[in-house]
Structure 1
Amino acid sequence: MQWIQVLAAALFAPNVYALLRFSCSGLVLERLDPLVNPGVNGSPHLHQIIGGNAFNVSMDPAKDISTMATCTTCTFSQDFSNYWTAVLYFKARNGTFKRVPQKGNVNFEAANGGMTIYYSPETSGKTTAFQKGFRMLIGNVNSRSKATSSQFRQLTYTCLQTPMTRSGETMDFPTAPCPSGIMANLRFPTCWDGVNLDSVDHMSHVAYPASGTFETNGPCPSTHPVPIPQLFFEVVWDTTGFNDKSLWPTDGSQPFVWSYGDATGYGTHGDYVFGWKGDSLQKAMDTNCNINCPVLTTQSIADGNKCTQKSSVPENIDGWLTELPGNMPITS
């Protein structure tokens, strides 16, 4: 895919393409979603959250979370944003569920799983960094088919043959055991309407390019004319402990299910709440940083691993469970 070529250019030809690529370890696993279910202490399904420790049940968009957080799980210490996705479970033949652990990406051995985060500037002109109060999500939790999920162009899975596999992406869950785990890839829209920091569905204020993709310099549509950074999550799920096919369903179907009850994978989605300190992200975009970024302050992965938060929703999410957290039913 085109984005693989872009990443290769960034890694091996520093002056060709710029991006931030960094690790954020896990902050907390809990059923909170201040974007979709603000104020609800016990959202419908379980999430894994990374970033600043100002994450809470109701995050007021008028407040600057970078001034409220005291630590971040992310490599760049100016980044107090929060990023989150659903949690993956294995469903056994007897109907019980076990949480699939996460593992850090290659060279990003973060604690508690976490993610690799990318911010890529637009290559042919000015990229406007996200503003205080900006938030968005990508994906549709109710999607259960390729037709309904295809509107989100770049939400995929990679069946890792080795930790470095970056090809063979699919829009649904892999149907065979993956020797090094499953990587979920979530690429957000790259065009903004220039006015609204959020929208009712948390998506309408952003859009994909009018043609092509961000990586191919596709132009932004007239309704969303402002190029914003390409935000991209990579999440590695360590499914290797469940690769014995004798544990899989007798009909040969794949055994993994998202915490919102999706056994197809088409409903994958991710959430983002901006929380960079001051204009630090804009400086990084203007500087065309390439992986390392001298205009930002870097903390060690070990220091990022120390930033954790206790779940505010008391429940058991581990061990063999008779139901998904929140009693979420499986739908297909």
Structure 2
Amino acid sequence: MSAEADAGAPGGTVAASHTAAHAGHSGNAMPVSTASSPDDPDGDGYIPANPPVTGVTPSTQNPPHRYFHEFQANCGVTHTAPDDPIVYPQQPGKSHDHTFMGNTTTNANSSTASLAAGGTTCKAPGDLSGYWMPTLLNDGKPVLPVGPQTIYYKAGVTDYTSVRPFPKGLRFVVANPMQSAAEFRNHPGFVEGWECGDSFFNTEFPASCPDRPDVQLNIRFQAPSCWDGKYLDTPDHRSHMAYPVVKAGTNDNICPTGHPVALPMIEFKMAFPVNGDMSRVTLASGSGHSFHYDFFNAWDDATLKALVDHCVVGGLQCDARGYDQTHPEAGAALDENYRLP
């Protein structure tokens, strides 16, 4: 795909008129925000960035090659609830059941301010973000990931030095619960699909997984990482974000012209403690190909900037402290308590 095309997350550039609710990646319509909230008083689904980021063009620079440019956010499960403060703000119980990680207070009424006042299960106390996904069910009973899960923050573009921190209050949905199996498999965020044991790249749950204590059901899925610089949310919760595209005539990934601001690329790496007979395993949103997840940024600004600058822009492979074991000379972004020094 050429650099001139917008590969939305998906969808094209946000309509200036604010009149259109954009479709999701699959063309299957997602619910749109229909309720006012502290962050969206008029309830139109558009939350403007304040201030917006202007004057940015997609970076075509090619800095010295670094195999890694990432850090981890390690966050445990907090609770489950049929809430979604992005898709159904101020409407408790309206969503399918979600498994929440990170911020301990996330619910249908969550706002940027309420998350900032909450607690967190993430190793870094500065990460007050909300992360959630449809609850996995085995014979109708929730199966929750155990311990800190791995959420990567990576560079999705070739010029990793152009990546900047998320703006406070940015939120989006990754993938679409209404997508077809083929759309899930071909989604730009698809990495390895569902896997367990020696079974990989599955669109649906494997029929069975090795019944051993060391085997869990896993999935890896990447989020869009290019922002329009204008909106913290849009009615379809996608159109303000886009996946990188390939620059024409090269192998370089750059942000598309309508979404020129390079942000960290989130990648969920989730592990569910279920194996053996998988015939009764489902998601609260449906079958395996309905997997999707949500992100609501409430990081402490200075903490996030320190990690992005040190690890992503610095071309390191960092843990949740911002420490790269293969480059001890670089030090860490955070102290032993995962706080700014």
TM-score, scaled relative to structure 2? 0.67
1:176 aligned residue: 208
User: Is this contact kept in 2: 1:52–1:81, CA < 8 A?
Assistant: yes
Shift of 1:82: 0.7
**Partner in structure 1 of residue 80 of structure 2:** 29
Aligned partners of 2:268, 2:245: CA distance in 1, in Å? 22
- Tell me which residue corresponds to 2:121: 73
Aligned partner (choices 94, 117, 137) of residue 151 of structure 2: 117
| Aligned: 1:126 with 2:162 | yes
1:1-332 → structure 2 map (5 Å cutoff): 16-61=67-112, 63=113, 65-66=115-116, 68-69=117-118, 71-91=119-139, 97-103=140-146, 110=147, 115-121=149-155, 122-124=157-159, 125-147=161-183, 150-154=186-190, 156-161=192-197, 168-179=200-211, 180-211=215-246, 217-240=252-275, 243-244=276-277, 254-260=279-285, 262-263=286-287, 265-288=288-311, 289-292=316-319, 293=322, 294-297=332-335, 299=337
CA distance, structure 1, for counterparts of residue 144 and residue 100 of structure 2: 14
Residues 77, 144 of structure 2: 8 Å contact kept: no
Structure 1 spans left out of the alignment, 5+ residues? 1-14, 92-96, 104-109, 249-253, 301-332
What is the SS of the residue equivalent to 2:111?
coil
What is the DSSP-based 3-state SS (H/G/I as helix, E as strand, rest coil) of the residue aligned with 1:290?
coil
Q: 1:74-122: CA deviations, max 9, x gaps?
A: 011110001000111123xxxxx2222423xxxxxx2xxx521110134
- Relative distance call for 1:83 and 1:299 in structure 2 (3 A) is farther
Q: CA deviation at 1:143?
A: 2.0
- Partner of 1:6 in structure 2? none
Q: Secondary structure at the match of 2:305?
A: helix
> Which structure has more strand as a fraction of its residues?
2
| Counterparts of 2:272 and 2:284, CA distance in 1 | 13
CA–CA distance in 1 between the matches of 2:69 and 2:183? Answer: 33
* C-alpha spacing 1:178/1:35, structure 2 compared with 1 (3 Å): farther
- Hey, what's the Cα distance between the residues in 1 that align with 2:203 and 2:337? 34
CA distance in 1 between partners of 2:127 and 2:182 (Å): 34
Name the SS of the counterpart of 1:284 in structure 2. helix
Q: Quick one: distance in 1 between partners of 2:180 and 2:91?
A: 26
Cα displacement string for residues 10-56 of structure 1 (whole angstroms, at most 9, x for unaligned residues): xxxxx742211242111111111111111112133111111123423
CA contact (8 A) 1:89 1:100 kept: yes
Call closer, same or farther: CA 1:220–1:51 in 2, change over 3 Å.
Answer: same
Q: CA deviation at 1:123?
A: 4.8
Matched to 2:209, the amino acid is: P
Counterpart in the other structure of 2:58: none
For the 8 Å contact 1:155–1:171, the answer to whether it is kept is: no
For residue 286 of structure 1, report the CA deviation from its aligned partner.
1.2
Letter in 2 for 1:181: Q
SS across alignment from 1:279: helix
Distance 1:182 1:142, change over 3 A: same
Percent sequence identity over aligned pairs: 25
Whole-Å separation in 2 of the counterparts to 1:156 and 1:266 = 12
RMSD: 2.6
Q: Is the 8 A contact 1:77 1:297 kept in 2?
A: no
More helix by share: 1
**Residue aligned with 1:275, SS:** coil
Q: Return the alpha-carbon distance in structure 2 between the equivalents of residues 81 and 207 of structure 1.
A: 20
- CA-to-aligned-CA distance 1:236-275 (integer Å, 9 cap, x gap): 11112xx14xxx6xxxxx3321112x12x11110000001
Q: Which amino acid aligns with 1:18?
A: H
Give the TM-score, by structure 1 length.
Answer: 0.68
> Partners of 1:141 and 1:34 in 2: how far apart?
16
Question: Does the 8 Å CA contact 1:78/1:297 hold for their aligned counterparts?
Answer: no
